[in-house]
Amino acid sequence: MTEDAVNIAPSLSVVIPTHERRASVERALRSLRAQSLPPHEYEVIVAIDGSADGTRELVESTPMPFALRSVWKLRGGRASACNAGWRMAAGGIVVFLDDDMEAAAGCLRAHLEAHANASQLGVVGAVPIAVDETSTAVARYVADRFNGHLRRLAAPGYEFGLRDFYSGNFSVARAAMERVGGFDEAFTAYGNEDLDLSLRLRASGVRLVFSSAALAYQHYEKDFAALAQDNLEKGRTAAQLARKHPSSVHDLKLSQFGRGALIPRLARNAMLATSERLPGTRGAIVRAVAWMSDHRVPGLRHVYPVVLDYLYWLGARSAQREPATADEPGPAAALTR
């Protein structure tokens, strides 16, 4: 990078939150090197959440045509990592890009252009999950569901709802982040820190839109045990979100315990009831489905949603048994019964 380029303030700052995923960060940086946006227009900040895997050394030793730096902090979760990154940002627009994303060449340009004539905008970029013949059964299942969701978001006239939001490829004015105070760092476990942010951004006047042009390919690399843990934590943080924003409950899965097809609900309820009596139930179920995944047992597409639904509600129920703080009035517990 030339000295002149260094002295030009970037229009856009990319923040990559990460924890122990050096190889993923390296792939994300390679994709950002290939952007159609001139490199002086953007900077990249890798926000390292307590990693000791060489990510910081990677950033320090990797030459890039754009300004590249990192911030390291003690482990505190994705929300705190995102905050550490955007607070260092020099650009007027901040793009949050998860470390498992591979940005298409026009990704950053599309984000920047979307904000050109709209100061109060939040842009959710497309993040299709890439699969091929080597992809695991878990990756294929997640891709099938999530890519279908992206097609709905891209449909003309689609109304953007609370649960449609994600911040793995999301841009917003830095001033808007300052106005709402950034991510809530009380969300330390997986999930819902982004929905909380979206509620506060909307309340401050930011309009959320979906952009197919702001494209980044998502590489889903978790096994079933990791996916299971994510769903358990997602249930816990959904209860946390509902405590903070009681009016959001009916837009969350928390309000849908009694909905859906009868047989899957009965299977889920049986697992929940067994878990109440036998503490080892969850681990046994996760190990069994992980084995099925590794051996590509037929019928997994019917097994996954039931088990993941069970784990979500297990997490939500455990969180709702915990006493609420003075700042968090408890959500209607009946919603998870």
Mean pLDDT of all residues in 122-135: 94
For the chain, domain boundaries? 3-221, 225-336
**Per-residue pLDDT, 119:** 81
**Per-residue pLDDT, 246:** 96
Question: CATH number of the domain at 3-221, please?
Answer: 3.90.550.10
pLDDT digits (tens, 9 = 90+) for 226-276: 999 999 999 999 999 999 999 999 999 999 999 999 999 999 999 999 999
Q: What percent of the chain has pLDDT over 90?
A: 89
Max CA-CA distance within the chain?
Answer: 67
Q: Is the pTM of this model over 0.75?
A: yes
